[in-house]
């Protein structure tokens, strides 16, 4: 079971590399959306591994708040583009 977070971390490197490489803002936003949901699921897996549920609560909060923040950011970027 402890090998699973390592595999997840390797998969997480793909959107991180994409966010670093691509200059288009929407491609970067895609990569960050993927990073945010993947990291929150990884936090849940680690909270199951350690059987520590404060980490689990943090993972669920990051899942909700992280995606909400990305939504707000994409609306702001859209407004900036329209101007």
User: Is residue 9 a contact residue for another protein (CB under 8 A)?
Assistant: no
The helices-and-strands tally (H runs, E runs) of the chain is 3, 0
54 to 12, 26, 80: CA distances (angstroms): 23, 34, 38
Using alpha carbons only, what angle is made at residue 18 by residues 16 and 23, rounded to the nearest 5 degrees? 120
- Rounded-to-integer distance, Cα 15 and Cα 19, Å: 6
Q: Which residues, 42 to 81, sit near another protein by CB under 8 A?
A: 44-45, 48, 51, 53, 56-57, 59-60, 63-64, 67-68, 70-71, 74-75, 77-78, 81
Report the nearest approach of another protein to the CB of residue 30 (Å): 6
Please give the residue ranges that form the binding site for another protein (CB under 8 A). Answer: 1, 4, 7-8, 11, 14-15, 17-18, 24, 26-27, 29-31, 33-34, 37-38, 41, 44-45, 48, 51, 53, 56-57, 59-60, 63-64, 67-68, 70-71, 74-75, 77-78, 81-82
């Amino acid at each position: 079971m402890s090998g699973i977070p390592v595999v997840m971390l390797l998969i997480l490197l793909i959107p991180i590399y994409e966010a670093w490489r691509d200059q288009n803002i929407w491609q970067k936003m895609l990569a960050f959306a993927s990073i945010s949901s993947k990291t929150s699921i990884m936090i849940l897996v680690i909270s199951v591994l350690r059987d520590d549920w404060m980490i689990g609560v943090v993972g669920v909060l990051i899942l909700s708040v992280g995606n909400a923040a990305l939504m707000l950011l994409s609306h702001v970027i859209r407004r900036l583009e329209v101007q």
